[in-house]
A and B are shown apart, each in its own frame.
Chain A
Amino acid sequence: MPNNTLMSDPIVQSHQAVREATDRSMLGLVVEQARRFAAREIDPIAFDRAAQLPRRVLKAAAEAGLFGLAIPESYGGLALSLGDICQVVSELATRDGSFATSIGLHNGLGTRGLIAYGSQSLKEKWLPKLASGEAIASFAATETGAGSDLMAIRTTLTPRGEQVRLDGEKSYVTNGGFAGLYTVLARSPEMGGARAHSLVCVPRDTPGVEVGAEEHKMGLRGSSTVTVSFDGVMLPMENVLGTSGQGIAYAQHILTWGRTIMASGCIGAARNALNAVLSYVIERKQFGRSIGHFGASRAHVATMAAKLWAMEAMVERTGIEDINGGSIDGISGATKVFCSDEAFDICDRAIQLHGALGFLSDLGVERLLRDARVTRIFEGANDVILVFAGTALIALSRSDAGRRCHATVEPDLEEVARAWERVEQELQESLDRVRKKYGVKAIRHQLVLQRLARAHIALQAASASLWRARAVDAVARSVARLSVQQLLATAKENLSTLESSEIDESNHLQVTEALYRLGAMPQPVRA
């Protein structure tokens, strides 16, 4: 094992340590620069009201290097890892979700396909421009008839001699209004088989590309969301990424990055909400005391911190798994679902703690909730990801599922670590019961699948929380402990409702059949 021998060499280890320390220190500088940039240039309330990001801010972001985070150094970027990009994006999102979304999308969904699968010449042509911010990247997969179901895409890519022709229309294209390059997912039945899809890079100025007007949105109003249509757009064959026909597989990889980066944006929103609460609950007095000293408020604040701890742990762990070369297909979906759900809950609690003031837009807390809402929908609706995750869980054989043990935990977290193992055992037993009870028909029971997935995700988050609490101070350990305790309660609650799933499903069926037939809520008819 030559690698092991090399890595055990103390000199090599020391070089490795120096390199890692240098990388850490560079990341620290980039994050600090992002924080200063955000404080100086970003006015979240103004962007929200104007429903756009000023051009000068995008230009300043380009000058600050924020468009080159993911791009290899040889093309003028910083070549940051997924985990490091997440740290920068969460820092930006602490100031403003719209701006962080634009930067995050460019560095994730927008450029990932070109970096991972683009030809040398395509990369040479575009990556320097994308790194400098001369061109901004966008990703176009969704259509009006194809959201979570990517196989329903109707946009087509067909070979025409040395070129390809693109026809169709994409909806909800983030960054679409100011993007210079779109990565588009299209059906390509003549390129890779009847069910084949391909990814193709489309420069905005190509004849036949038409960019629609900005959508009016509930949140992330400063970000750009448009429809982009392609009418007989002719492109060189080299603009097709990687092997033609592999578009869905490539898109799934690109989505692992997109979902993780999006989750880091959720962290920023949650951090912002918690910071706003911490300064308010001490200052605000009712019944002669700071409201933060009431037990009901403490419950909210402590829960917000515990949830934020777990969100940060999930994103950090996903980033590390990606660096280690493991598949992040499953965990990036779990991280996305977990962080988007928790960010919304944290922002909601922040409004509650601010009382009527939280409802006013000048404070900016209500904007956090509006901005957070869509994260539970885009890049895969949480409901759908949960069904897929539940299906994947029951399709795994027991040995595949495994039990992730925590080799070392802090002594005062031992008790919750053991509790984690007991609940994990309960999950495995529940999975066995579901497999046995329903067989292959389990996929017809979406409520069961979602409850299993929710339990599993809560356990993953609890595991990440424990892992993140290695060698941390007492305050952090107390936050981590609460986080694990609350997540185990969530997992147990989901497992305990499995038994009643059939009754619940039957009730849901009965009520919805009547409502769908009537088309409205019926008024009760009394005898």
Chain B
Amino acid sequence: MNSHVNNDQSKRRQRIIALVAEILELDDPKSIKPTDRLREDLGMDSLGSLELLSTISEELKLDLEMEDAMGISTIEDACAFVEHHYAEQHPNE
């Protein structure tokens, strides 16, 4: 059970990183570190951050509130934010 959950979490994390790479037009998603800050380190503007979360919310069928999303600073924050809402909105998965 736990390994299944961890596996899904890991897939979602990889998807977030792949999307960041896609939005930023980076050739190698591996160059992105969890501690990278979206704005300062990766040069992602607020439109890019919203694009990322909007795509995630569509793919994972999540309702993500604008106000909560504005507190996200790093890749790790984005992953934790998505996991938190995923657990809340899909409790049986």
Contact = CB atoms under 8 A, between A and B. Distances in A.
B14 to A, nearest CB: 19
Contact of A195 (B26, B51, B57, B63): B26
Interface string B41-60: 01100110011011001100
Contacts of A196: 43
With most chain B CB atoms within 10 A of its CB, the pick from A195, A391, A392, A439 is: A439
Given A195-B43, A440-B54, A443-B54, A395 B24 contact: no
B47 A443 contact: yes
B88 interface: no
A444 interface: yes
- Tell which of A196, A248, A392, A395 has the most Cβ of chain B within 10 Å: A395
Contacts of A194: 24, 26-27, 31
Given A440-B57, A441-B54, A435 B67 contact: yes
Contacts of A443: 47, 50-51, 54
A146 B24 CA distance: 15
B66 interface: yes
Given A195-B24, A391-B47, A444 B66 contact: no
Contact of A444 (B24, B26, B31, B54): B54
A394 interface: yes
Contacts of A195: 24-26, 42-43
A395 B25 CA distance: 23
B47 A388 contact: yes
Interface in A81-103: none
B1 interface: no
Interface in A418-476: 435-436, 438-444
Contact of A440 (B27, B31, B43, B50): B50
Nearest to A431: B66
Question: By CB atoms of chain A within 10 A, which of B50, B65, B66, B67 has the most?
Answer: B66
A391 B31 contact: no
A116 interface: no
B70 A441 contact: no
B19 interface: no
A397 interface: yes
A151 interface: yes
| Most chain B Cβ neighbours within 10 Å, of A248, A391, A440, A441 | A440
B50 A391 contact: yes
A397 B65 CA distance: 12
A148 to B, nearest CB: 12
Contacts of A440: 50, 53-54, 57, 64-66, 69
A439 B70 contact: no
Top 10 A-B pairs, shortest CB-CB distance: A440-B53, A435-B66, A440-B64, A443-B50, A440-B54, A395-B46, A439-B65, A439-B64, A441-B54, A440-B69
